[in-house]
Amino acid sequence: MRYKLVAAIAIALGFAVATAVPAGAAPQRAPQVNGDLLLYALIPDSAFGASFSSTGSYSTGSTLRSDRARDHVPSMSCSSFEDTFRAGYYGDTAGAWDEFDNPDYLKQWPTVLGGAQQVNQFASDGAAMSFYQQERAKYQSCQNFTEPDPANHSPGGATFDISATDVTRTLIGRNLAFQVVQDLTISNDVILTFFVNTLVVVSGADVYEFWDVSGTNDEPWPALMAELIHKVQQLR
């Protein structure tokens, strides 16, 4: 796991830092690849922006994980669900993520401060669809919440206020997707206006996510999402 909102916002604060399964039928196991291969398939950070660079990445490694979940989306708090990257925790058998930042964001404002990409692979299409639906329901329910800066990056103890969540269904190619737009207010930064933008897609046994903190509420990189889905499918 890794905090994502804090990693991006620390820069802005000036710190370096489904397919249903018929009753009684066992789900058909989808072709599987390991986390290292999924990490290799992720989009190069420079494709998101010329000045972007990676600030961290992770994969579940060369072996598959158990499909028994350690974290369950419906029972998670909004802040716990939204503020961490997780691969291998939701019953996904493999996963990978990469986060990046834009050190030139002030020169380019309004633009992306930082973002991330993630893919979680499940044992079956049905398991992936179930997780996708749980994510959409969670975002819809997390309309307003406040949390302290858990990494204590900001002097005086800033809080992050998330509000006005908008969840919109869309498509990436023929794949079901939804976009999330959230207003973000930082208690000790009244100058800049921030949005948290998320794009989640389910394709077969995989669930993909693009995420960013930005000065605009644009859908995060739909063309690159289609490219990522193609790259992962080519692994099989």
Q: Is residue 213 part of a domain?
A: yes
Residue-level pLDDT at 24: 53
**Residue 132 to residues 56, 111, 204, 219, Cα–Cα distance (Å):** 24, 28, 11, 18
Of the pLDDT bands very low, low, confident and very high (cuts 50, 70, 90), residue 17 is very low
Q: What pTM does this model have?
A: 0.87
The CATH number assigned to the domain holding 140 equals 3.40.1000.70
> Is 25 contained in some domain?
no
pLDDT tens-digit map of 167-185: 999 999 999 999 999 999 8
Task: State which residues form the domain around 215.
Answer: 2-14+31-234
Statement: residue 4 has pLDDT above 90: no
pLDDT tens sequence across 109-161: 999 999 999 999 999 999 999 999 999 999 999 999 887 654 444 445 677 88
With respect to residue 19, please indicate whether it lies within any of the assigned structural domains. no
Q: Would you list the DSSP string of 75-94? A: GS-HHHHHSEE-SSSSS-SE
What is the residue type of 57?
A: S
Residue 24 is assigned to a structural domain of this protein: no
**Three-point CA angle 163, 200, 30, nearest 5°:** 150
Give domain status of residue 50, yes or no: yes
CA 225, 226, 227, 229 torsion-angle sign? positive
Is pLDDT larger for residue 58 or for residue 155?
58
pLDDT, position 46: 95
For every residue of 23-38, DSSP letters joined together read TTPPPPPPP---HHHH
Q: How confident is the model at residue 22 (pLDDT cuts 50, 70, 90)?
A: very low
Which of 44, 59, 197 has the alpha carbon at shortest distance from 119? 59
Total structural domains in the chain? 1
Q: How many whole angstroms separate alpha carbon 77 and alpha carbon 92?
A: 20
**20 within some domain:** no
pLDDT cut 90: percent of the chain above it: 71
* Residue 26 belongs to some domain of the structure: no
